[in-house]
Amino acid sequence: MRAPTRSARRVVVLAAVASLGAGLLAGCADDGKDEDNTSSGSGGGKTKITLGLFGSFGFEEAGLYKEYEKLHPDIDIDQTVIERNENYYPPLVNHLTTNSGLQDIQGIEVGNIAEVVNNYSDKFLDLSKYGKESDYLPWKWQQGTAKSGSTIGLGTDVGPMAICYRKDLFEAAGLPTDREEVGKLWTGDWAKLVEAGKDYKAKAPKGTTFMDSPGGLFNAIIGSENERFYDSSGKVIYKTNPAVKKAFDLTAEAAEDGLVGNQTQFQPAWETTISNSKFAAMACPPWMLGYIESKSKPESAGKWDVAAPPKAANWGGSFLAVPKSGKNAKEAAKLAAWLTAPEQQAKLFSKRGSFPTAQAAYDLPLVKDAKNKMTGDAPIGQIYAPLAAELPVQVVGPKDQIIQQGLTDNGVILVTQGKSPKEAWENAVKTIDNNLEK
Amino acid sequence: MATRHDTAAAPPAKEGGAAPAGPPVESPETIRKRARLSRRWQRDVRWSPYAFVSPFFLLFLAFGMFPLVYTAWASLHTVELTAPTDMEWAGLRNYTRIFDDEFYWNAAKNTFTIGIISTVPQLMMALGIAHLLNYKLRASTFYRVVMLAPYATSIVAASLVFVLLFGRDYGMINWFLGMFGVDNIDWQNDKWYAQFAVSSIVIWRWTGYNALIYLAAMQAIPQDLYESAALDGASRWKQFLHVTLPSLRPTILFTVVVSTIGASQLFAEPLMFDANKGASGGPQHQFQTLGLYMYEQGWVNQHLGRASAIAWTMFLILIVVGIINYVISRRLRASS
């Protein structure tokens, strides 16, 4: 009786190996097929739409998913969020090139939109049939549109930048505190802002600096330029563009004079400087107010205010795009269009401070009458709306992020660490050129 | 071939044992059947082992060999991560430019120095700790588990905690040093301080692991060696030097090899140490290791060809390290 037992055992083992192998292979396979994609499928007959996002878009926090699910009972929304775009974007590129692992809706940062539009427009659905072009700021709509005319990204928000400042610290340093007067200190010229910083420093409360970080200041100055790192023909010009050098030198000057803190934005230590009230002013789009609030101690509420920047400048703003390969691409496109429609953008602004990219939203009460606790109920909707209208139409290049990070994190930051502006510039250029070279 | 039951030379005896019963009468069908079974068994015996080991090799082919070959192929091309199928032949250019790529050599130097200042103290501390744990202790299992706890911790979580500890303005370490009048140290931006800080994460994580390996080896040393050494009047320190260390030699060599390989692939700790930029290893690349540089080229800058070339040079360096270790270990074995 040995032989049959043996072969029976062998069958069992082989079956086990085979099923294990199949399991492994299935695990590796494109997961596009393991779920029923019709609405009559599993999950209580619901269509599941997934979003892949970075940072805090805040759709969920603002209750928009719940609202949409209520409007469309057959839809189920699920999101995965990666905190930093640096960690979000490379895998997204990977998924796009391999056409797998994509969510139904993908968020795209403005710094990457050019690269995505240039390289991958054929992988995305044309959303121009879903969103209404006239609702949006024209230049924002253009940024998400490929040469072929296909609009692959609908703008979620723009970043009209203002200068947020601490009224208590300004007062202690003998500067005006009224937002009109503060804005007048530096109207029209970033150099005047740095001058105001020198006035601040002369009588500043001990241990504080005028602005938070060299990176933040540089970002603000360069954000008011139309052409920054690329010219409109797509050539890299950051080294020769006088606007870039001017912004760099002005920031380096401020850093040499100790007007900016020795910090890199969004690092834990920088966040601590917010909660410890270590600086008096910073460049801030509306979303930054929410950020300040989340990092501040409760007693800081009401001590901030918002003044006009020297020049209108843009910081941030993202897009939603719908990959064609998605199971529910059409449903996803409807959701993306709904999330970026003026009414929803207004809600998002009132809850999360993301400033609408849909100009049609600016007249809605949720924007017009918006107030903000950190700024002592300043009418932020009315402050930011005119700034948004003046935003420069920026040339966005594919490697903008790499260049900007090089100039700040491998550049101006060094001046706060005792290097000369010249050394800092050279270090930045060396790093950027090495990073750009193929 | 103990598993062979199908040898035709010894047909199974019938009931009645080995008593001669004349040649067995078998119908041609039975003979054919038996022959068929016999063939099946032969095939089974010959090929089954390959089937059993094949999952590993198939997976290795898919996830080990293919990437290796693909990387080698990609390293000879100019190719971007944004369009990996779009390859342009570049010959050895990706390799030759490494010679005057100061970032590469900076990363190589950093890898080396961080490797030294993390591996050497780590292994020495591990030896000491293992020696202490080797004494009769109360709750020794508890100490052993504690030793292994850092190894079981997520490296990312641990690194983030270290970043906070090493913070310049609000870090606990600077606060502590401040009590002795030391000025705030800029742990991230000063080259040597940064490398020391990164090394401390490595040391924290791996010391206990190595200590347990040493401890296991120490417990295999016969107790009578210590007893006779004690009878000869050798102190504990002398016992350690003259009994423990020589017996541990192969184990120490093993940990040195493993730690060296680990150090040359150092990646997560320096990546997490700069919470914002990560892959550039600080504003002046002061703690950028080769692993980080490869990641930066491939995944941040999306230059797949360059990254592949760097990966292959790292592979070659590891082979050289392996050969050196092999030579040394042979010498040591010969001398003992």
Secondary structure of residue A27 in the 3-state scheme = helix
How far is it, in rounded angstroms, from Cα A256 to Cα A414? 10
What value does the mean pLDDT take over residues A326-333?
90
Per CB-CB distance under 8 Å, the chain A contacts of B41 are 3
The answer, yes or no, to whether residue A17 has pLDDT greater than 80, is no
B77 close contact with A: CB closer than 8 A: no
B90 close contact with A: CB closer than 8 A: no
pLDDT the model gives residue B254: 87
Lowest-pLDDT range of A208-222, A293-307, B136-150: B136-150
What value does the mean pLDDT take over residues A166-195?
92
* CB-closest option in A90, A268, A438 to B163: A268
Query: DSSP character for A72?
Result: -
Q: Structural domain boundaries of chain A? A: 14-158+317-381, 163-313+399-436
Tell me what percent of chain B is helix, strand and coil, each rounded to the nearest 5. 70, 0, 30
Ramachandran category for residue B181: left, alpha or beta (phi over 0 → left; psi -120 to 50 → alpha): left
How far is it, in rounded angstroms, from Cα B53 to Cα A21? 12
How far is it, in rounded angstroms, from Cα A67 to Cα A145? 28
The answer, yes or no, to whether residue B253 has pLDDT greater than 60, is yes
pLDDT-derived band at A326 (thresholds 50, 70, 90) equals confident
Per CB-CB distance under 8 Å, the chain A contacts of B80 are 438
Q: Is the CB of A409 less than 8 angstroms away from the CB of B277?
A: yes
Rg (CA), chain B: 30
- Please give the residue of chain B at the shortest CA–CA distance from A432: B301
| Within this chain, domains A14-158+317-381 and A163-313+399-436 share the same CATH topology | yes
pLDDT the model gives residue A255: 94
Rg (CA), chain A: 25
Rounded to 5 degrees, what angle do the CA atoms B24, B25, B27 make? Answer: 135
Q: Which residues pair with B78 in a beta bridge?
A: B88
How far is it, in rounded angstroms, from Cα B32 to Cα A192? 102
B300 close contact with A: CB closer than 8 A: yes
How far is it, in rounded angstroms, from Cα A369 to Cα A381? 6
Q: Is the CB of A269 less than 8 angstroms away from the CB of B167?
A: yes
B42 close contact with A: CB closer than 8 A: no
pLDDT the model gives residue A39: 40
Nearest chain A Cα distance for residue B184, angstroms: 13
What value does the mean pLDDT take over residues B162-171?
85
A–B CB contacts, 8 A cutoff, strictly below = 90
The answer, yes or no, to whether residue B202 has pLDDT greater than 70, is yes
How far is it, in rounded angstroms, from Cα B243 to Cα A349? 72
The answer, yes or no, to whether residue A217 has pLDDT greater than 80, is yes
Tokens of A297: 């101690």
pLDDT in tens, A379-409: 888 889 888 888 888 888 888 888 998 999 8
How far is it, in rounded angstroms, from Cα A184 to Cα A19? 73
Nearest chain A Cα distance for residue B328, angstroms: 38
What are the distances in angstroms from CA A427 to CA A286, A380, A405, B275? Answer: 33, 39, 12, 20
pLDDT in tens, A35-60: 444 444 444 578 899 999 988 788 98
Percent pLDDT > 90 in chain B is 32
Homologous superfamily assigned to A14-158+317-381:
Periplasmic binding protein-like II (3.40.190.10)
pLDDT the model gives residue A306: 93
pTM over 0.80, yes/no? no
Pick the CATH number of A163-313+399-436 from 2.130.10.10, 3.40.190.10, 3.40.50.170, 1.10.3720.10: 3.40.190.10
Is the ipTM higher than 0.85? The answer is no
* CB-closest option in B55, B59, B78 to A438: B78
How far is it, in rounded angstroms, from Cα B185 to Cα B174? 6
Lowest-pLDDT range of A167-171, B112-116, B200-204, B323-327: B323-327
Largest CA distance in chain A: 101
pLDDT-derived band at A186 (thresholds 50, 70, 90) equals very high
pLDDT the model gives residue B17: 52
Alpha helices (H) in A373-420, listed in sequence order = 380-389, 400-407, 413-415
pLDDT in tens, B266-286: 988 898 887 666 688 888 899
A119 close contact with B: CB closer than 8 A: yes
Mean pLDDT score across all residues of chain A = 85
A431 close contact with B: CB closer than 8 A: yes
Interface test with B, best of A434, A436, A437 (most B CBs within 10 A): A434
How far is it, in rounded angstroms, from Cα B232 to Cα B268? 49
Q: Residue B17: phi, psi to the nearest 5?
A: 70, -150
* CB-closest option in A94, A410, A438 to B280: A410
Q: Is the CB of A97 less than 8 angstroms away from the CB of B81?
A: yes
Q: Residue A25 in contact with residue A34, Cβ under 8 Å?
A: no
A23 close contact with B: CB closer than 8 A: no
Q: Is the dihedral of CA A425, A430, A432, A437 positive or negative?
A: positive
Largest CA distance in chain B: 105
pLDDT the model gives residue B318: 87
pLDDT-derived band at B250 (thresholds 50, 70, 90) equals confident
Q: A143-147, A248-252, A416-420, B219-223: which has the highest mean pLDDT?
A: A248-252
Q: Residue A286 in contact with residue A380, Cβ under 8 Å?
A: yes
| A318 residue type, one letter | S
Q: Is the CB of A10 less than 8 angstroms away from the CB of B301?
A: no
How far is it, in rounded angstroms, from Cα B281 to Cα B270? 6
Which residues, 6 or more positions from B98, have their beta carbon under 8 angstroms from its beta carbon? B104, B309, B310, B313
How far is it, in rounded angstroms, from Cα A150 to Cα A160? 26
B184 close contact with A: CB closer than 8 A: no
pLDDT in tens, B1-54: 445 555 455 555 555 555 555 566 778 888 888 888 888 898 888 899 899 999
Q: Residue A119 in contact with residue A146, Cβ under 8 Å?
A: no
Q: Which residues pair with A107 in a beta bridge?
A: A320
pLDDT the model gives residue A152: 92
* CB-closest option in A21, A24, A90 to B299: A90
Query: DSSP character for A76?
Result: E
Q: Residue A123 in contact with residue A96, Cβ under 8 Å?
A: yes
pLDDT the model gives residue B276: 64
The answer, yes or no, to whether residue A27 has pLDDT greater than 60, is no
Q: Residue B130 in contact with residue B144, Cβ under 8 Å?
A: no
